[in-house]
């Protein structure tokens, strides 16, 4: 079995006009022709899986993945019902869906499969699968867009998907069903009068397309929040698809992009764009936002009873969970220049999270403990009695880097301004390789100087801690 | 012909959890109960209207979301299966409902004459949204009254709460006008939650009431403030504070239902009856009735 990979990616528009009425407007027809060409490309690539991330399927409880092997119904658009109905009968890879769901949970995401007769598949997915996979030969999978998800969650969603693509050795095509600018005319128009809603929307759309044509997917991901503010109606689902698509392509800026069509659909910006993973030769550009592997989450709101902030100072109770063991927690101190955040774990003594002097920011030693719960990702290294436990150094190191990021950002600095790091490991022999691997994926990309020391123990049952110095001037 | 009349106006929620918890034969999943305070609230609302005679229910649901104008169901009968795209585990409901197309068209025509973009929905394959069905079921489980179903125009998202409210006040005005001209007795119903911040996880047993509470203190304060205005006949203050309420409580009033309702009722100065309040996956929900029949004297 070959190693799985994403063999191509496509951005496609969501409204039903390209299926139901392409002949009514020359632009709609050009979008339709681009769809047909994309379908041809997918066939020629011998893809064996189409993965659709749809912005017209919002979800609240994590992400949902369609797992009905053969969903069948008739789709009628809420707005454009007078264009007609789209009957559908899709070929869904339920096995992949369940594996993705499991991979999501392994990476800390809330996720579930849906398999219900009559489930209303959303317009974006129906249009994409109807046109990209007209004979249903290629199995497909559809994922929702979570209305509360942020970039890290959406990135981890893609990484979990890639876990399965690789494990199953699939030749996958990644598709985002989305508008660029999504502002439609709020009144009814004649098809021949269709155009992009405003000049500003058009200019932003062209900017996005220029980036995509240069294969700069990661840069579009960086700009997503700005794009959303500028040209997106604030619906429940923000401009998230580029986060997912970028992560599906390894967060790169050197893909080979092609704009196959760009037209208005009732005022919204509709484009068919293909992104070929072949490096464009432009040279990859810097990756300037933290790369997340696991979702530690702002979620778990139902579990507030268990997750009340540690009140600090209360000694560990007998029989408390292993993660609650260790020294008392303190409120961070507040001397001049101190930087403290509730998003980082509480100190185990009287000191701040960081302290700023001029352009320099000095962080206190940072471990992997989670704020609030005090849990240790990857598990504690020993139990209450000191009996050694199995733990994951990679997960611990990731959590340390994440805590560092929270403190650095609280100070108004950036990860790429970190200049020097001292790392303490309690078991150099066992842990250096795993720690080094995570380093290479994270801080190694930023390039600070580094010193790694083996020490006897740390105050809490953790295996790794970092001491970080940041130079905040640009 | 006697002048038509609004006999009652109600705001009532539509999370599918309420139908799920009730276990009606039309819904596939089975629950062990839950959200009783709200379901009993609906029960009290039904009892309160049991002896009031009316011909039709006019309902606005924020889950039929239209970006291009306001739409009205325009065929006399709809039936099928409604599966909630967000909570399909709770709601797979076989519906069978009748539409008062004549009244729908009358409101449509009045709105059109007032310059609002409107459209009749006449595609027989259309699936009625789950908000309409949930509220439709809980308000009238026998489904023996025809409905007028109005879509929720997304003008809050496109412009602002202020623009939405302006449009909804106009839509309310023409709704009232059309009802009065129709000679019919009608209940108007805004199907929406108040504060609308959801939990993002679901407990093992969805109906586990030990997990149910409002998402935050601020949401609770906003809900109580709005309910107090309802209970004390201060509808105008609700309209005045709609932008702040909608933004700060992330309220489902963004769909326009509440503004439309209050305008249809001519911004009532008499007290509404609170039949129930409760939270559903963290959102705030109330069942409230303005007993118009007791306050509006028919001229007929
Ligand atoms: Fe709702």
* Ligand 1 center–CA B44 separation, angstroms: 22
**Three-state secondary structure call for residue B102:** helix
**Which residue in chain B is spatially nearest to A301 when comparing CA positions?**
B199
Bridging pattern class, strands B92-98 and B5-12:
unpaired
Specify whether the CB–CB gap between A224 and A240 falls below 8 A.
yes
Report pLDDT for A349: 87
CB A103 within 8 A of CB A163: yes
Structural domain of residue B161, as residue ranges?
A: 5-299
* Signed CA dihedral, A355, A356, A357, A360: sign only: positive
Confidence band of B155 (pLDDT split at 50, 70, 90): confident
Ligand 1 center from residue B14 Cα (angstroms) = 6
pLDDT at A315: 32
> Cα separation of A162 and A250, whole Å?
9
* Percent of chain B topping pLDDT 70: 99
- Nearest Cα residue in chain A from B117: A187
Reply yes or no on whether the pLDDT at A311 is more than 60.
Answer: no
> Whole domain around residue A258: which residue ranges?
5-276
Question: How many angstroms separate the alpha carbon of residue B239 from the centre of ligand 1?
Answer: 20
Residue written as tokens 């935050």?
Answer: B216
Chain B residues lying within 8 Å of A187, measured CB to CB = 68-69, 117
Judged by CB atoms closer than 8 Å, whether chains meet at A62 and B158 is answered as no
- Report the CATH number that the domain containing residue B15 is assigned in CATH: 3.40.830.10
Closest to A40 in 3D by CA, of A176, A116, A131: A131
Helix or strand (DSSP H, E) at B267: none
How close, in Å, is residue A119 to chain B by CA atoms? 5
Domain count, chain B: 1
Q: Does any domain span residue A391? A: yes
Q: Is A308 on the interface with B (CB under 8 A)?
A: no
**A273 forms bridges with which residues in the sheet?**
A11, A259
Tens digits of residue pLDDT in B13-38: 999 999 999 999 999 999 999 999 99
Nearest to B287 by CA among B227, B235, B245: B227
Complete DSSP assignment for B151-205:
EEE-HHHHT-HHHHHHHHHHHHHHHHHHHHHHT-EEEEEEE--SS-PPPSS--SS
Let me know if residue A305 belongs to a domain: no
DSSP-based three-state secondary structure for B27: strand
Q: Is A79 on the interface with B (CB under 8 A)?
A: yes
Q: Which of residues 373-432 of A touch B (CB under 8 A)?
A: none
How far apart CA B38 and CA B17 sit, in angstroms, is 10
Which chain A residue has the Cα nearest residue B126? A76
Q: Is residue A282 part of a domain?
A: no
**CB neighbour list of residue B166: distance below 8 Å, 6 or more residues apart:** none
Contact between residue A35 and residue A132 where contact means Cβ atoms under 8 Å apart: yes
How confident is the model at residue A230, as a pLDDT? 79
Nearest chain B Cα distance for residue A303, angstroms: 8
**A60 and chain B: CB distance < 8 Å anywhere?**
yes
Cβ–Cβ gap A120/B127 under 8 Å: yes
**pLDDT for B191:** 95
Interface subset of A 136-175, CB within 8 angstroms of B: 146, 148
Structure tokens at B88: 């399909």
Are residues A374 and A231 both part of a single domain? Answer: no
User: Looking at residue A359, which CATH number applies to its domain?
Assistant: 3.30.1330.40
Give residue A119's pLDDT.
95
Confidence at residue A474, expressed as pLDDT on a 0 to 100 scale: 63
Contact A102, A85 (CB under 8 A): no
Is there a contact between A302 and B199 if contact means CB atoms under 8 Å apart? yes
A58 interfacial to chain B (CB closer than 8 Å): yes
pLDDT tens across B246-286, in order? Answer: 989 989 998 999 999 999 999 999 999 999 999 999 999 99
pLDDT digits (tens, 9 = 90+) for A169-204: 999 999 999 999 988 999 999 999 999 999 999 999
Q: In chain B, which residue's Cα lies nearest the Cα of A189?
A: B68
Contact A29, A23 (CB under 8 A): yes
Min Cα–Cα distance to chain B from A359, Å: 37
The whole-number pLDDT of residue A28 equals: 98
Residue of A nearest to B28 (CA): A116
Average pLDDT (A111-137) is 96
Please check whether residues A218 and A69 belong to one and the same domain: yes
pLDDT by residue (tens digit) across A397-445?
Answer: 999 999 999 999 999 999 999 999 999 999 999 999 999 999 999 999 9
Q: Which residues of B fall below an 8 Å CB-CB distance to A?
A: 64-69, 71, 80-81, 83, 85-89, 92, 117, 119, 121-123, 125-127, 129, 151, 153-155, 157-158, 198-203, 211, 215, 281-282
How many whole angstroms separate alpha carbon A434 and alpha carbon A457?
Answer: 18
Share of chain A above pLDDT 70, in %: 90
Structural domain total, chain A: 2
The verdict on A265 and A365 lying in the same domain is no
Chain B hits for A148, CB-CB cut-off 8 Å, are 198, 200
pLDDT at A292: 77
pTM for the whole thing?
0.76
**A54 contacts in chain B (CB < 8 Å):** none
- The beta-carbon neighbor of A120 closest among B68, B69, B83 is B83
Strands annotated E in A4-126: 5-12, 49-59, 63-66, 72-75, 86-89, 111-114
Average pLDDT on A227-243 reads: 74
The β-bridge partners of A354 are A339, A363
Q: Which residues contact A71 (CB under 8 A, 6 or more apart)?
A: A88, A89, A90, A92, A119, A121
Q: Are A96 and A164 in contact (CB under 8 A)?
A: yes
Q: Is A122 on the interface with B (CB under 8 A)?
A: yes
pLDDT at position A388: 84
Shared-domain flag, residues A51 and A199: yes
Structure tokens at A142: 């559809």
Instruction: Give A291→chain B minimum CA distance, Å.
Output: 23
Closest approach of B300 to chain A, Cα-based (Å): 38
Q: Is residue A343 part of a domain?
A: yes
CA nearest neighbour of B214 among B278, B126, B120, B261: B278
Give tens-digit pLDDT for B75-100: 999 999 999 998 999 999 999 999 99
Strands in A225-339 per DSSP E: 256-265, 268-276, 338-339
- Identify whether residues A264 and A374 lie together within a single domain: no
**Which residue of chain B is at minimal alpha-carbon distance from A186?**
B68
pLDDT at A118 over 50: yes
Burial class (CB in 10 A: 0-12, 13-18, 19+), B54: middle
CA distance A308 to B22: 33
In a domain, A145, yes or no: yes
Q: For residue A298, is it within any domain? A: no
| Statement: residue B298 has pLDDT above 60 | no
Q: Are A35 and A113 contained in the same domain?
A: yes
Closest-CA distance of chain B to residue A116, Å: 7
Same structural domain for residues A113 and A253? yes
Local structure of B242: helix, strand or coil: helix
């Amino acid at each position: 079995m070959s190693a799985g990979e994403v063999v191509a990616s496509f951005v496609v528009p969501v409204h039903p006009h390209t299926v139901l009425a392409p002949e009514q407007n020359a632009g709609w027809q050009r979008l339709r022709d681009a769809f047909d060409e994309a379908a041809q490309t997918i066939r020629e690539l011998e893809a064996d899986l189409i993965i659709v991330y749809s912005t017209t399927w919002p979800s609240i409880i994590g992400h949902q993945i369609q797992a009905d092997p053969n969903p069948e119904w008739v789709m009628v658009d809420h707005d454009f019902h007078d264009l007609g109905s789209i009957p559908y009968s899709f070929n869904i890879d339920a096995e992949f869906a369940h594996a993705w769901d499991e991979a999501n949970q392994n990476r800390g995401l809330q996720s579930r499969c849906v398999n219900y007769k009559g489930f209303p598949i959303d317009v974006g997915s129906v249009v994409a699968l109807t046109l990209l996979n007209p004979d249903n030969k290629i199995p497909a999978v559809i994922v929702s867009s979570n209305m509360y998800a942020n970039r890290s969650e959406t990135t981890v969603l893609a990484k979990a998907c890639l876990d399965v693509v690789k494990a199953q050795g699939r030749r996958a095509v990644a598709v985002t069903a989305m508008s660029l600018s999504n502002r439609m005319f709020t009144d009814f128009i004649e098809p021949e009068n269709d155009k992009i809603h405003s000049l500003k929307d058009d200019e932003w759309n062209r900017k996005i397309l220029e980036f995509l044509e240069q294969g700069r997917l990661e840069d579009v991901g960086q700009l997503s929040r700005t794009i959303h503010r500028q040209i997106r109606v604030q619906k429940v689902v923000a401009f998230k698809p580029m986060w997912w698509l970028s992560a599906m392509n390894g967060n790169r800026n050197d893909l080979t992009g092609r704009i196959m069509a760009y037209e208005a659909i009732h005022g919204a910006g509709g484009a068919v764009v293909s992104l070929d993973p072949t490096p464009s030769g432009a040279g990859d550009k810097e990756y300037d936002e933290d790369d997340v592997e696991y979702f530690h989450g702002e979620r778990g709101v139902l579990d507030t009873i268990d997750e009340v902030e540690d009140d600090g100072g209360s000694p560990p109770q007998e029989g408390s969970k292993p993660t609650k063991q260790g020294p008392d927690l303190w409120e961070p101190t507040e001397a001049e220049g101190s930087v403290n955040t509730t998003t980082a774990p509480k100190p185990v003594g009287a000191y701040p999270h960081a302290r700023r002097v001029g352009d320099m920011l000095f962080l206190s030693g940072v471990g992997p403990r989670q704020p609030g719960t005090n849990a240790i990702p990857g598990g504690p290294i020993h139990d209450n009695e000191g009996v050694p436990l199995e733990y994951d150094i990679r997960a611990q190191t990731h959590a340390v880097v994440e805590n560092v990021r929270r403190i650095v950002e609280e100070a108004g600095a950036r990860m790429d301004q970190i200049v020097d790091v001292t790392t303490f490991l309690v078991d150099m022999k066992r842990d250096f390789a795993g720690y080094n691997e995570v380093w290479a994926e994270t801080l190694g990309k930023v390039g600070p100087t580094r010193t790694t020391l083996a020490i006897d123990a740390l105050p809490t049952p953790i295996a790794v801690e970092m001491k970080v110095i940041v130079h905040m001037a640009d | 012909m006697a002048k038509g009349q609004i006999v009652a106006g109600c705001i009532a929620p539509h999370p599918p959890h309420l139908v799920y918890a009730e276990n009606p034969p039309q819904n596939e999943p089975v629950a062990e109960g839950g959200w009783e305070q709200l379901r009993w609230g609906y029960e009290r609302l039904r009892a309160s209207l049991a002896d009031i005679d009316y011909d039709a229910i006019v309902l606005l649901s924020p889950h039929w979301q239209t970006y291009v104008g306001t739409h009205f169901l325009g065929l006399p009968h709809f039936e099928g299966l409604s599966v909630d795209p967000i909570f399909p585990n709770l709601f797979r409901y076989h519906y069978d409902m009748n539409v008062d197309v004549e009244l729908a068209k009358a409101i449509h025509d009045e709105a059109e004459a007032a310059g609002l973009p409107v459209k009749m929905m006449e595609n027989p394959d259309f699936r009625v949204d789950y908000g309409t069905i949930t509220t439709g079921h809980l308000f009238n489980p026998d489904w023996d009254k025809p409905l007028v179903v109005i879509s929720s125009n997304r003008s809050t998202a496109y412009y602002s709460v202020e623009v939405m409210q302006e449009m909804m006040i106009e839509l309310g005005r023409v709704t009232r006008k059309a009802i009065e001209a129709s000679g019919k007795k009608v209940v108007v119903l805004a199907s929406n939650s108040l504060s609308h911040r959801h939990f993002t996880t679901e407990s093992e047993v969805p109906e586990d009431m030990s997990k149910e509470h409002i998402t935050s203190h601020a949401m609770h304060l906003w809900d109580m403030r709005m309910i107090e205005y309802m209970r004390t006949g201060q509808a105008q203050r609700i309209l005045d504070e709609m932008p702040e309420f909608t933004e700060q409580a992330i309220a489902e009033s963004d769909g326009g239902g509440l503004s439309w309702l209050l305008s249809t009722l001519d911004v009532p100065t008499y007290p509404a009856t609170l039949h129930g309040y409760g939270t559903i996956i963290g959102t705030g929900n109330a069942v409230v009735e303005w007993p118009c029949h007791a306050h509006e004297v028919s001229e007929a």
